[in-house]
Amino acid sequence: EADIYQTPRYLVIGTGKKITLECSQTMGHDKMYWYQQDPGMELHLIHYSYGVNSTEKGDLSSESTVSRIRTEHFPLTLESARPSHTSQYLCASRAGGLGNEQYFGPGTRLTVT
Partner 1 sequence: QKEVEQDPGPLSVPEGAIVSLNCTYSNSAFQYFMWYRQYSRKGPELLMYTYSSGNKEDGRFTAQVDKSSKYISLFIRDSQPSDSATYLCAGGRGSNYKLTFGKGTLLTVNP
CB atoms within 10 A of CB 98: 4
Residue nearer to partner 1 on the CB measure, 2 or 11: 2
Question: Stretches 13-21, 60-68, 73-81, 99-107: which one binds partner 1 (CB under 8 A)?
Answer: 99-107
Burial label for 84, CB within 10 Å (0-12, 13-18, 19+), is exposed
What are the φ/ψ torsions at residue 93 (nearest 5 degrees)? -150, 160
Note whether 59 binds partner 1 by CB under 8 A.
yes
Q: Residues in the site for partner 1, rule: CB under 8 A? A: 2, 4, 31, 40-45, 48, 50, 58-59, 90, 92, 94, 96-99, 101-107, 109
